Structures are given as structure tokens and as C-alpha cells.
Structure 1
Amino acid sequence: MNEEKQVKSGNVFDWYIAKRLFAFAKPYKRVFWGVVALTLSLAILGPVRPYLVQYTVDHYMEAGKYAGLLWMVVLMLLVLVLQTVAQYLHTYWSAWLGQSIIRDIRIRLYNHILRLRLSFFDKTPIGRLVTRVISDVQTLSDVFSQGLAAMIADVLQLLAILVVMFYTDWRLTLVSLSMLPLLLLSTYIFKEKIKVAFKEVRNAVANLNAFVQEHITGMNIVQIFGSEEHEFKKFKKINAEHRRANLKSVLYYSIYFPVAEVIGALGTALLVWYGAGEVVKQEVSLGILIAFIMYISLFFRPIRLIADRFNILQMGIVSAERIFRLLDNQNMITNSGSYRPAALRGEVVFDNVWFYYNPGEYVLKGISFKVKAGETVAIVGASGAGKTSIISLLNRFYEIERGNILVDGVDIKEYDVEVLRRHIGMVLQDVFLFSGSIRDNITLYNPDITDAQIWEAAEMVGAKDFIERLPGQLDYKVMERGATLSVGQRQLISFIRAMVYHPEIIVLDEATSSVDTETEELIQQAIEKLMKGRTALVIAHRLSTIQHADKIIVLDKGQIVEIGDHEQLLEKNGYYARLYRMQYMAART
């Protein structure tokens, strides 16, 4: 969204946002127009009952014609039933329309989030994204069920009542509306105040969601460092701000509605005072006075509600603006490639690659190397040297600033992203498992992967025995982030997850750095089987695990400082040799 349109959202009503929002109603045009028709029907039916009461009093009760009175009562009951049915259909169809639209918006929003670059998630709190997908989208439902449709119905009903009132008696109408300027003024003040309050509430909700999500996810760190009390104080402060914002909106409601009620009562009192005198002087009939008392009640009720309706609409526009701002975020990998090979040889070339996460702060500077098909290449270096960035770029999780990355002699930008990643198997240090079964965490709901393939891969990596011991085996329910499994077991599952896709290129990022010696031996055996006949890029801090690599690339501060096999690098007595001696001495002590 361009800057001009973002600024426009600060206006009382942003027609640009509203237009985009109501474009989602196009698939439901029949229901939408049905709601419009019911809205018009309710506006017309609103003044009918008071008019029937007026006619009954003037033409039957005062005239003593009781024979036709029963028919008028039946007619009023029929109008009431018709109005009730119309109100039911209007409420239900409006809610159905709102829920259908927010379903579509939520699907589109989540689908969009799935395709954003990892750099977007590096800078965006997850709690705020949860707020966008859940809370902000839910707010849009009220726009269709309680906001715009209800507000249009209220306005049309007001116009219909005004026409009937002026047609019946213009003097009583003016007396009835004498309090209207005061009511409109109080409504305008309330609308402006509550608009600001609602924005504060939405921001407070987003801050609270972000804080809770982040700290529950990182609860082990909080407890390890004994920060419970400190984090609890921060939570109380954010929660207090959330309470303050909500109470502020409640305060405005608690002031406005009693004031509006008093203003409406004063208008009714003036009408009765003036109208009673006119009835005594026989200038106005009793039926007209009774009808006007009903009219003024019907008239002031929508005005009291219209400010609330407007603010529901305003909240929806604010939420829609945030949602569209996220949908308009094009910070995603452009899948413009069309190359979809059935298999790869596995040759990888980095040609003068430059890359940064933050503009100007390069983490990779002129990286160039070649990995032949079937080779095992290790990448080592201190933390922050750029090792993980290399494998992230190979998978196109980020875009490079300069240079080229080739796989089998083809630029990775020419590959279909999904196909490219399917041919590259990744086993990361921090294995993420979703809540669900072992099977689901391996297949990631890919129906093409059979149980036989899973068991074959499990046996190959040495994980079959531990899975068979689990209750339910492949149906065993993994808790969030795999909390019920050991680090080694989670790592083995990640190996199976990589194996079932039969990738030609394997990437191992610190795959054995967090496991015990016994599990490490098991994983090393799995690694050997996994790498057999495949191109492998191995990132490791433990240099003892990569001594048999065909080539070792040594990184320092984003640049390649040495390349060679283990023996060649030791003979150079350079950066790698120093690093190796430091680890060897540390292991001996």
C-alpha cells in the first residue's frame, strides 16, 4: 500500500479500504442483495405499527366501532410477525455473510503469510501476526453483521419515520425533534472519543498477544535465568495497559447511553406536554399523539445505536487497513522460475555471492566455491561467520544482493522454488516438531508419502526401534515442539523427514551439536547413510565430525579464508589449524 493511502486511513471513513473490503462480498452477491432487500423492508415496516395504532384509536376506539377493532389487532400482529421474520433473516444472513467473508480473508491472509520471506519473520513479532489472523479478521465479521448493514437499516428507518411524522403533523414533528441537536452533538463527541479508545484497545491486544506468545515459547529461558518475577512485572504492566484501554472505552459508553436516554426522555416529555394541549384543544387526535410517542421512541433508539454502529465500522476499517497492509507486503520470494527437473546431479556453485540481512551490513562478502556432485563439503567457522546464511541462500529463503548461485549449472532463480527445495534435504540443529502424530511430522501431510516409505527411511537412519517402542508408533502424538521426545529422537525424526523425499543434496546444520555421545554415534551412522551417493553440505562446530569431508571451507567474518581437506588445512597451519588445536585441547581437559 502506498504512503498516501496509508495516511488516508486516519480519516473518519476510508472509502479506499472499504472498497477493498467489500470486494470480498462479490462471491456472495445474492446474499448481499438479500440483506439489502431485508434492510429496506425493515425500514418500511418500522413506521407501520405506530400508524396502525393511530388509525385504530382514531377510527375504531374513539368512534366506538369495536367490530373492526379485532381485525386491526390481527393486522398489527401480522405486521409484527412479518417484522420479526424479516429481522431474523436480516440478522442471520448478515452474520452468514460476515462469517463467509472472514473465512475467505483468513484463508487468503494465512496463504500470504506462508509465502513471505524469512526476513519478514525475523523482524515481525509472531504475536502481532496472530492478532492479524485471529482478532483483526474477527472484527471484520462485525462490520457485516452489526456495522454497515445495521447502520444502513437504522438510517433508512430514520428517514421513513421522518417522512411519516412530517406527513402526519409537522408541528408535533418539530417538537419531537427539538432535542435532536443535543443528541447529535453528544453522539458526535462519543463517536470521536470511542474511536480513539478502540484504537488503543486494538494496540493493547496486539502487544499482549505478542508478549504472551513470545514468553510462553521461551519459558525455558525465563526459568533458567530466574526471570519469572521480572517477566511477571512486565506482563502486569502490559496487562494493566490493556485494562486501562478497555475501561476507557467502557467509561465513554457508561456516560453516553444514560445521557442519550435522558435526552430522549426529555424529547418525549416535551411531545406529551405539547401534544396533550393540542388534544385538549382538539387540534390533534389522541391516536396521532400515541403514534408520535411510538415514533419518537423508534426514532431516538437508532440514533443512540448509530454511533456504536459507526465505531464498529471504524474498528473494522482499522483492522482491515492492518490486514491489507500485511497482504500488500510483497517481501516474498518471487517464484518466477519454471525449471522443474525430475532429478538433480547435485553440483552446487556459489559465484561471488554478497548478502546482508540489514542494508549495508554484509554477512557474506564475495563467497565463491564449487561442490561437485556427490561431494561432501564441510563449512566451519566461528559463530556469525556466515555458515547458516550460505544454506539459507541455497534454499532461496533469502535473496542475494550480488553474484549467482547455480545448481547443476542453472541459476536457482530459474528453478521453481517448490521443486528446488524438494531436492534439497535439510537437517537443522534446532528441530521443530508440530503438535500431531509422528507420521504427520514426517510427511507434513503429504499424501504421496506412504507408511512403508516412512518405515524404510526410519530403518535406514536407525530410528525404527525407538518409534516402535512408542505408544501408537507412527500415531504417537508429539506435544508442541516435540517436548515429549529427547533431543536425539527429535533429530532422528528430522533425518527421516529429509530421507522420505529422496533429496539429491543434503544440508546438515550442526546436526550433532546438542546430543549425547551414544546418540551422536547413532546419528553419525545415519548421516553416513544419508550422505551416501548424495551431495552434502555439512556445518559443524565439532571439527572431529568432518575430518573425512572431501573439502572443508573455512569462513571468518563473512569471507572464505581457507579451502582444502583436513590434512591440507592442518599443514597450512592457519585459521583451521588453530581452531582444531583449540578444540583438541579443550576435549583433553
Structure 2
Amino acid sequence: MDILKNNKRTVLLLSAVILANTGLQILVPRFLSAFIDRAETNAPMTAIALIIAGYLFTVAAQKGAGLCEEFISCRLGGRITNRIRHQMLEHFIDLPMNKHDTFSSGEIMTRLDEDVEGVYEYYQILFLRIGTSVLLLVGVILSVAMKNRLTALLMLAVSLFSIWIYKVISDFGTKCYLKSSQAAAVFNGILKDKLDNLVEIHLAGAERHALVSLKKAMHEKFRESLPAGQMYGRLWRASTVMEVISVGGTLLIASLLWDKGMISLGTAYLFYNYVDLIYAPLQSFRNHLGGLQNASARKKRVEAFLKEPAEDGIPEEYNGYTAPSAQDVPYPAQGENTSAASLMDFSSLEVRNLHFSYQEGTEILRGISFTIHKGDLIGIMGETGCGKTTLVKLLARLYSCPAGSIFINGLELDSYSLKELREEILYCPQKPQLLHASLRDNITLFDPDIRDEDIYKAISALGLDHWLEGFERGLDTSFSSAEGSISAGEAQFVSIIRLFLRHPQVIILDEITSSLDKKKEKELMNAIKRLSGERTVLMIAHHPEALRMVNKILVLDGGILVEEGETRRLMNNPGSLYYKALTAGDEKGGISL
């Protein structure tokens, strides 16, 4: 409802156009009725010509109103859909990590693409299709009642009975569509995960297991979609019976009244025309109730997702091991109100004797300590599984850090609200997610407050003008196949532009160069250098060469910080691990420690 209030003028304009369109539809048959009556009574040609002119004008006006209704509703629908997508993305970010782990990327994409579209489709069918059909139905019955009450009562009875039958079938169908939508989302999630990890699956020899799980999800999707698909057939059969009763009964009454001279031939034709006009909204009920069932199921999934409790504290199962010396470190008590503190004045981030483990498992990080300052560009490297990603996720507070381990501006990380942390410390994962939407929407993530001018300025500031020129339609370019629309490097450019537009204080980049060729990597690193400016940037790099631009390097091994120093010093020190990695030319970015 808030979204509709924000578009009040558009909603009022659309309502006026719908009323005009409905009135014109009811008016058109009256011209035909008047024409028949005038022709039967040999009326002057002038009167007949005026009726014909009125008919042609009314038909043209009705068609124009229909086009305006479609255009305005599509524009309104785009705004509503994008706003809901933006709300869902914000809510998803605020969910605790245990919830993030339960959603595959494919399922989230399904919710953002199909389910969100289902919300607008639900209201479009309910108000613009079924609602206007009800309005037309009421108008027709009132018009018929002015001519003959008995015929109007028959039409009303048949219409109400038809709507009741459709409603019964619809209520049963919604449950089927809800199960079908869930099964489709699970299938899409599994399919996307398999496609994203084809190489890893092949190397692990797990093709058979992957195909079995995909086959089970596909069977489940088909099993749940079959009952939903049968709903339309039931609605069609019910509407056919209602149509026969409605048309046959009205024609019988009209012929009897005309035979007794109680109505004119034009009025009899008007009744027939109105019966046909009444069948149109009844047919609309039938055609759209199937879609309404599916849209209603997707709407419920969106509502259920938005009702997921946001993170006001990280769940206990993600709490790490508390360092033995934590009680000796001065910091504000956990949960203490420090609302005066602001990340807008970021000056330093300090890690003190950080230990962390997942639940009761082996320690991932052991005694990590380092300090970074505003404007630092930090590189983090180490072998796979050494704790790099865990460390940066703790810094972004995607996981809860042990008390007394991470400080910003001298205050413990928990002293800041999660909302502010999410706004000022941004984490960019290795694999960017693109949506089935335009380039503009993928950059803004459907935020209506970001203007095209802001996007162009960001692209220019990052030195990516040549990249944008590669898209023939510019920001209007549609990514119909999401990640498949552009290369991995170009997808990372989208991520960098997103970061620039958010104006964060700290940026964390998690191996964003891992799947790029040398040319794209160089272009991306130049964009990152422009992005950094006075911001603090922490970057996990796939290739040691990518860290030449940073001013400080941290090397992890087995969860321990084994090397720390200025990049220039380490590059010129044959005994440093970074020097050895550079000279070895390890294409995998690994380090022999």
C-alpha cells in the first residue's frame, strides 16, 4: 500500500482511464441498438448518420482508452516490481548468515525474478483484470435493468453463481500453485548451482551424484506442477456451462418479450449484445483465475520471505571461539549504547588476537592481530582454506566475532548498529550475481533514488566509459540470461559500479579477479584503484601480481598470520612469501609455505 501511495497520481489517472474505458464499452452496443430501431422505423438519414458517427467515435475512444490503460498499468507495474525487488534485496542483506546458507543463489534469483513479478501480477489480475470485469459486469446489468428487470435478474444470478464456482476452484488451485512454485524454486536453485560448479563437479568425479540430485528435483517439480496445470481445464469446463445457461436463457427471454411486443428489435439485439459483453468478464474470470492462483502463490512466498526475522544479533551457532585474553582488552560492554559513534568518521580497524571456529569445529583463525587505517589498500593472500574469506566476513560482521577481537575507531565492532555496518562496510563476493533485468537495474539494484546521471558519473570516475560503449542500448540493455549475458569480468565491473554508488567507508573484495584473463584483470584493477580513493580497501587476490597495487600485504597460513608488511618491501625481499609467490609465477595464486 505504501508503494501505491507513493504513486498516487498514477493510480488516480489509471482509475479514471479504467472508468472511461468501461463506460465506453457499455455505450457502444447502445448505438447499434439505436441504429436497428431507427432503420426499422425508416428514420431520416441524418439521424442514422449521426448514430453511425457516434458509434465510430465511441469505438475509437474505447480503443484509445484501452491502450492508455495498458500503457499506464505497465509503467506502474514496473515501478512497483522494482520497488519490491529493492526491498527484498535489502531484507536479504539483513538476514542472519544461517538464513543465507539455506538459500541457494538460484533460489534467490527465482524469488527476485519470478516471485516478485508474481506480486504485481496478482494485483494486476485482481484489480485491472478481474476488478474491471466486475465493474463492466455491474454496468451491463444496470443497463439491462433499465430495459427489463427480469433479464437483469437472470444475468445477475448466472454471474454470481459462475463467480462462486470459479472461486471454489481457485481456492483449491492456489494450494497446488504454491507447492508448484516452491518445487520450481528448488529446482532452479539446484540447476544453477550445478551449472556454476561444472568444473569442480567434474574434477571431483561427482557427475553421477549431481545428475541424481538434479533428476530428483526435476521429478518433484513435474509432480507438483501437474495438478496446478489441470486447474485451467476445470475452470474452462465450468465457464462453458455458465455461458450456455446465460446466453440461452437471455435469448429465450428476449425473443418472448419481442414476440409479445414488449421490447423493440433493437432492444432485443441490445440484450444479446450485453449477454456477449457479460460473457467477456466471466471469461476474464476464467482466464485470469488460473494466473491469479499462480500469482497468489508467488505473492505468499514473497510475503513469507519478507517476514523472515532480520538480524538484530548473529545467531549463536555462528559465534566463534573467544580468545583467552579478551577480558583484558578495554572496550565498551557488549550491547552498550554507543549511538554517538559513527562509521562516517572511520579512521582505523584493528584486529586483536582473533580466534574463530564454526560451532564446535576446528579453529579456522588462530591469534590474528593487525591494524589498518583510513585510505589503506590491503592485500590478503594464502592457500585455499587458510581462513582468508572467513576473516573478511568477520570484518564485515557477516559472522559474529568473538568479543574484544575487532575494533573500529577504538570501539568494539558490536558497538555499531548492523544497519550502519551494512551501509559503510561493503563485501563483494567472488561470483557476482546478476538479475534478469536491465543493466541499469543490475547496477542500482532497483533503487529508485539512483539517477542515470549518478550512474554515468560513477562509470566515468572508474574509467569504464569504453566498457559502457560496448552495450548498444546502454543502460537499457536487457540481461535476459543474467550471468550468461556478459563475461565474468564485465559482471565484476557491475559490482564495482555498485560499490562506488554506495559511497562506503570500507570495501572488501573477495577474489574478484579469480576468473579473469590478464586484460580484464588489468582493467578491473585500474577501476579498483580509482574506486579506493580515500576509502579503505581489503582485497583477497587470486594472482599475486594483482596485489602489486596495494600498499600492505597480509599472508595467512593455516589460520595464522605468518607475514605482514609493506608491499614494496616484501616485493624486494627474496625471503618473503610474497616475493616467492611472484617469482614462482603460480597461476593459481597459491603459496608454498
Q: Do they fold alike, i.e. is TM over 0.5?
A: yes
Return the TM-score normalized by structure 1. Answer: 0.65
Distance in 2 separating the partners of 1:397 and 1:406: 15
The equivalent residue for 2:136 is 157
Q: Compute the displacement of 1:292 (Å).
A: 1.0
Tell me: CA distance 1:293–1:212, structure 2 relative to 1, closer, same or farther (3 Å): same
Distance in 2 separating the partners of 1:382 and 1:221: 14
Distance in 2 separating the partners of 1:122 and 1:144: 32
Q: Compute the displacement of 1:397 (Å).
A: 2.6
Contact 1:177 1:267 (8 Å CA) reproduced: no
Q: Which of 60, 64, 73 is the equivalent residue of 2:42?
A: 64
Q: Does 1:546 align with 2:550?
A: no
The equivalent residue for 2:413 is 412
Please list every run of 5 or more consecutive structure 2 residues that lacks an aligned counterpart in the other structure: 315-337, 444-457, 465-486, 493-511, 566-591
Moved more, 211-220 or 112-121: 112-121
Distance in 2 separating the partners of 1:419 and 1:291: 64
Q: Does 1:91 align with 2:78?
A: no
Distance in 1 separating the partners of 2:204 and 2:159: 62
Tell me: CA distance 1:203–1:388, structure 2 relative to 1, closer, same or farther (3 Å): closer
The equivalent residue for 1:399 is 400
Tell me: CA distance 1:156–1:398, structure 2 relative to 1, closer, same or farther (3 Å): same
Distance in 2 separating the partners of 1:505 and 1:285: 85
Contact 2:365 2:559 (8 Å CA) reproduced: no
Q: Compute the displacement of 1:290 (Å).
A: 1.3
Q: Compute the displacement of 1:399 (Å).
A: 2.5
Contact 1:126 1:214 (8 Å CA) reproduced: yes
Q: Does 1:349 align with 2:352?
A: yes
Amino acid at match of 2:421: V
CA deviation map 1:472-499 (0-9, x unaligned)? xxx9956887676479x97998899599
Distance in 1 separating the partners of 2:535 and 2:7: 47
The equivalent residue for 1:580 is none
Tell me: CA distance 1:190–1:164, structure 2 relative to 1, closer, same or farther (3 Å): same
The equivalent residue for 1:46 is 25
Q: Does 1:192 align with 2:171?
A: yes
Amino acid at match of 1:546: V
Percent identity of equivalent pairs: 17
The equivalent residue for 1:219 is 198
Q: Compute the displacement of 1:249 (Å).
A: 3.4
Q: Does 1:263 align with 2:242?
A: yes
Tell me: CA distance 1:401–1:74, structure 2 relative to 1, closer, same or farther (3 Å): same
Please provide the CA RMSD for this pair: 5.0
CA deviation map 1:495-539 (0-9, x unaligned)? 995998489999797x79xxxxxx87x79xx68x967xx5x6542
SS of corresponding position for 2:352: strand
Contact 1:188 1:307 (8 Å CA) reproduced: no
Distance in 1 separating the partners of 2:103 and 2:20: 47
Distance in 2 separating the partners of 1:313 and 1:548: 60
Distance in 2 separating the partners of 1:214 and 1:476: 16
Distance in 2 separating the partners of 1:405 and 1:542: 16
Task: Give 1:312-461 correspondences, 5 Å limit.
Answer: 312-313=291-292, 315-328=294-307, 329-331=309-311, 337-341=341-345, 343-344=347-348, 347-350=350-353, 361=360, 371=370, 389=390, 392-400=393-401, 402-403=403-404, 405-407=406-408, 409-414=410-415, 417=421, 421=425
Q: Compute the displacement of 1:185 (Å).
A: 4.4
Distance in 2 separating the partners of 1:183 and 1:483: 60
Q: Compute the displacement of 1:338 (Å).
A: 0.2
Larger-gyration structure (1/2): 1
Q: Does 1:109 align with 2:88?
A: yes
The equivalent residue for 1:252 is 231
Q: Compute the displacement of 1:293 (Å).
A: 0.9
Task: Give 1:438-517 correspondences, 5 Å limit.
Answer: 477=489, 485=516, 501=532
The equivalent residue for 2:7 is 28
Tell me: CA distance 1:296–1:363, structure 2 relative to 1, closer, same or farther (3 Å): farther
SS of corresponding position for 1:47: helix
Contact 1:50 1:294 (8 Å CA) reproduced: yes
Tell me: CA distance 1:502–1:418, structure 2 relative to 1, closer, same or farther (3 Å): farther
CA deviation map 1:47-102 (0-9, x unaligned)? 323333333333x1332225222222222222212221222211221121111211
Tell me: CA distance 1:421–1:495, structure 2 relative to 1, closer, same or farther (3 Å): farther
Tell me: CA distance 1:356–1:477, structure 2 relative to 1, closer, same or farther (3 Å): closer
Distance in 1 separating the partners of 2:279 and 2:64: 23
The equivalent residue for 2:111 is 132
Distance in 2 separating the partners of 1:147 and 1:357: 48
Q: Compute the displacement of 1:219 (Å).
A: 1.0
Contact 2:91 2:306 (8 Å CA) reproduced: yes
CA deviation map 1:373-420 (0-9, x unaligned)? 89x9x9999979x88655533342322465553356432344663797
Contact 2:351 2:406 (8 Å CA) reproduced: yes
Contact 1:190 1:252 (8 Å CA) reproduced: yes
